[in-house]
Structure 1
Amino acid sequence: MKKINQFLFAFISVLAVSCTADDVENRPVVSKIATPEMTAPTTAKQYVLKEVNASSDADRFVWTAAQYTESVVVQYSLMMDVSGGDFTKAQTLVKTSSVTQASVSVKALNQAAIELGAVPGTPKQFDVKVMATVSGGVPTESAKVITISINTYSGLIAYPFTDWYLVGDATVAGWDNNNKNQVLFRGGTNPKEYRFTGYFKAGYFKLISTLGQWAPMYGKGDAGTIVSRAKDADPDPASFEIATAGYYTFTMNTETLKYTLVPYNATAATSYTRIGFIGSSRTGTDAGWSGDDTPMVKSTFDTHLWTLTITLFDGKGKFRANNAWDKSWGGDTAFAAFPTQGASGGDIPVARSKYKVLFNDLDGSYMMFPNQE
């Protein structure tokens, strides 16, 4: 009886495999019948965008449905490029699933135009078309485009913060005040507090707030204080000294004018081969949490520091190691955070802009500078 059961099981298994193979071979090939075409707005329409209306709809874009030989779910992408462009660097205004219309906000249309080179206050021509994608089929695009004129506003995100940078022979920039100087990570809940944990060479350093300028500056005072040099004509303060090369944590408070400089034990710190940024802010939808993250660039001076320049959307994001969720870092505050000052396991709030992003895998500190060109 046991042998009969084994034979019957083997027969059913072979039959199941055969059926699966037949299903694959007989699966219908999805072919295009008709491409989607824009029907609204009309070509030559002009938009004068105002920041006061940023959250309002600029317009509703409508297109015909793509048609295929099979009943399928169609993903649509509404894309915009400079007039006469080839759409290889187009901005995606919105994505839908089997829906042939979508409203685009003033803010989204304005930012897309700026990303494509629009100068605020000066009208610029753009082409708009729609792309349809289905599983198992070749993407299809509008045969024709509509051309619209957009007069943008600045679109800059408010960034009312003062940043401080390291300068000196103990730092990556040397005594050059405009040489990709390392910024101090700013507190997310108290913007008067700053912190940096990282590698220093033996030597000296000071702090400057404007790259390319020597004032304002902070230097070393007595009894754990910092001394300000507000103008170039003011006396040059003393430098902070690093007696032995290694990792240190430097903190300062520009309100209390206090600082600390202590060694940091980095010998047990993990050395990551990849750090990436992930989240809904990458695409403007929750789909940004899936798939690969966007890899950052590791510093050659300090292998625990990472940078990335990226255009982000309204949404949230965080950092993770090795393109996996085994190790990740987040935060509760926009633009900046360090431990006890906004860094956490939460999702970082992001507003749409182009950012320069900096991250420190030693303590989860991050800085996100908006309004990049």
Structure 2
Amino acid sequence: MKNIFKIVIALLSVLFVSCNADAVDNRPILEGLTVPNITAPTTGKTFVLAEANATTEVDKFVWSPAEYSHDVVVNYTLMMDVKGGDFSEPQILATTSDVTEASVSVKTLNQAGIALGAVPGTASQYDIKVKYNVMGTETMVSQNTLTVTITAYSGLVPYPHTDWYLVGDATAAGWDTNKGNQPLFRSGSNSNLYKFTGYFNAGYFKVISKLGSWAPMYGGSGGSLVYRATDSDGDPASINIATAGYYTFTMNVQTLTYTLVAYDASAATVYPTVGLIGSSRTGTGAGWDEDTDMTPSSFNPHYWTLTVSLFDGETKFRANNGWDVNWGGDTAFSGFPANGTSGGNIPVAKSKYKVFFNDLDGSYLMIPNQQ
């Protein structure tokens, strides 16, 4: 009886595989019939952009639909590159689903040009194409190229802040003033208050505000800061780290005071990955479902960096590509919220940023207007 049962199961298995194979063989083959072409605006059009009109429509871009042998949903991406570029790293102007037109704002077109190296006030030429695909199929690119001339404005995000960086043999950069120096994180509510929690070697350090220069600078001793405005001013004392380990350094440039307190990092988790996520990534095709991974420091595994182009929107940080551990904030550019996980969504204005993050206390710093 047991052998008969095994034979029946084997026959059913063969029939099941055969039926599935037949189903696969009988699936309709999806064939592309026509590719989209940009029909408006016309090639050769000139755009002279003005910041006063940033939120207005610069033009409506229209293309013919991609046609397939069966009814499918087609996803389109309107993208721009320098004239003659290969579109390997294009700027995204718009994305649509089954819609063959997109309204592009002055700001979006301007920032795309700036990201591609436009010199404000100087006319430059750019190529625009449409990328398209159906879920599960290879991405294709439109046959024709629209070439336009753009005169961009600076498009800089207002950033009325001063950043300060660690330098010294107690820090990752050593006494080099331009070697990936770790920045201090600035309070989101008090622009005079700065903090850094992390690993220090035994040795000394100071802080500088202009990478590659020894002034302006702060040094000090006994909790009092000493300011050096120019190279011709006296050199302040270096702050001493007597024993290697983790410390929290805080300084207030208004009261000219600092604190240096040992920090217990023995129970701190070392995360395999930390990523940036949010609606500010939408223009790149990412959003709230996909991280952009940051790079950890080899000197301090809790300190992360990333250079990235972001769009108007919101962002957060999260560990291990999941929502179990995440960090946010309520203020643009910087903050050190509540020494813990979670928090609000950080507001972001469209620009290219250097992003710094500390997973020990949730501190973040996002410096805009990068080249």
The TM-score, its normalising length taken from structure 2, stands at 0.91
Q: Distance in 2 between matches of 1:355 and 1:342?
A: 24
Change in 2 beyond 3 A, CA 1:321/1:342: closer
CA deviation profile, 1:317-338 (whole Å, cap 9, x unmatched): 1111112222111111111111
Aligned twin of 1:167:
167
CA deviation profile, 1:243-288 (whole Å, cap 9, x unmatched): 1010000001111222110000011111111111111111238951
- Kindly indicate whether residue 296 of structure 2 is the aligned counterpart of residue 298 of structure 1: yes
Aligned twin of 2:138:
138
Aligned twin of 1:311:
309
Aligned pairs (5 A) from 1:110-149 = 110-149=110-149
Change in 2 beyond 3 A, CA 1:251/1:340: same
> Contact 1:281/1:312 (CA < 8 Å) preserved in 2?
yes
Change in 2 beyond 3 A, CA 1:301/1:39: same
Change in 2 beyond 3 A, CA 1:20/1:347: farther
Q: CA deviation at 1:161?
A: 0.2
Amino acid at match of 1:368: M
CA deviation profile, 1:269-316 (whole Å, cap 9, x unmatched): 11111111111111238951114x111111111111111111111111
Q: How many residues were matched structurally?
A: 364
Q: CA deviation at 1:121?
A: 1.1
Q: CA deviation at 1:215?
A: 2.0
Q: Distance in 1 between matches of 2:110 and 2:80?
A: 12
CA deviation profile, 1:5-61 (whole Å, cap 9, x unmatched): xxxxxxx99999987665444322211111111110001000001111111111100
Q: CA deviation at 1:339?
A: 3.0
SS of equivalent residue, structure 2 residue 300: coil
Q: CA deviation at 1:149?
A: 0.5
Q: Distance in 1 between matches of 2:56 and 2:163?
A: 33
Q: Distance in 2 between matches of 1:129 and 1:211?
A: 39
- Kindly indicate whether residue 208 of structure 2 is the aligned counterpart of residue 208 of structure 1: yes
Aligned twin of 1:186:
186
> Contact 2:249/2:259 (CA < 8 Å) preserved in 1?
yes
> Contact 2:93/2:283 (CA < 8 Å) preserved in 1?
no
Aligned twin of 1:100:
100
Change in 2 beyond 3 A, CA 1:248/1:136: closer
Aligned twin of 2:82:
82
Q: Distance in 2 between matches of 1:160 and 1:124?
A: 29
Q: Distance in 2 between matches of 1:370 and 1:240?
A: 30
Aligned twin of 1:5:
none
> Contact 1:195/1:249 (CA < 8 Å) preserved in 2?
yes
Aligned twin of 1:28:
28
* Structure 2 unaligned residues grouped into runs of 5+: 1-11
Change in 2 beyond 3 A, CA 1:332/1:17: farther
- Kindly indicate whether residue 358 of structure 2 is the aligned counterpart of residue 360 of structure 1: yes
Q: Distance in 2 between matches of 1:302 and 1:256?
A: 29
Amino acid at match of 2:253: T
Aligned twin of 2:288:
289
CA deviation profile, 1:132-188 (whole Å, cap 9, x unmatched): 211243333221111110111111111110111111111112222222211100011
Q: Which moved more, 1:247-256 or 1:229-238?
A: 229-238
> Contact 2:171/2:201 (CA < 8 Å) preserved in 1?
yes
Aligned twin of 1:150:
150
Q: Distance in 2 between matches of 1:121 and 1:17?
A: 66
> Contact 1:310/1:354 (CA < 8 Å) preserved in 2?
yes
Change in 2 beyond 3 A, CA 1:74/1:105: same
* Structure 1 unaligned residues grouped into runs of 5+: 1-11
> Contact 1:96/1:102 (CA < 8 Å) preserved in 2?
yes
> Contact 1:167/1:207 (CA < 8 Å) preserved in 2?
yes
Aligned twin of 1:325:
323
Q: Distance in 2 between matches of 1:122 and 1:327?
A: 46
Aligned twin of 1:217:
217
> Contact 2:339/2:360 (CA < 8 Å) preserved in 1?
no
Change in 2 beyond 3 A, CA 1:295/1:287: closer
SS of equivalent residue, structure 2 residue 266: coil
> Contact 2:167/2:176 (CA < 8 Å) preserved in 1?
yes
CA deviation profile, 1:346-365 (whole Å, cap 9, x unmatched): 11111111111111111111
**In structure 1, which of residues 326, 346, 349 is the aligned counterpart of residue 347 of structure 2?**
349
Q: Which moved more, 1:41-50 or 1:174-183?
A: 174-183
Q: Distance in 2 between matches of 1:303 and 1:285?
A: 28
Change in 2 beyond 3 A, CA 1:266/1:85: same
> Contact 2:92/2:284 (CA < 8 Å) preserved in 1?
no
> Contact 1:126/1:150 (CA < 8 Å) preserved in 2?
yes
Change in 2 beyond 3 A, CA 1:333/1:14: farther
Q: Which moved more, 1:83-92 or 1:279-288?
A: 279-288
Aligned twin of 1:335:
333
SS of equivalent residue, structure 1 residue 162: coil
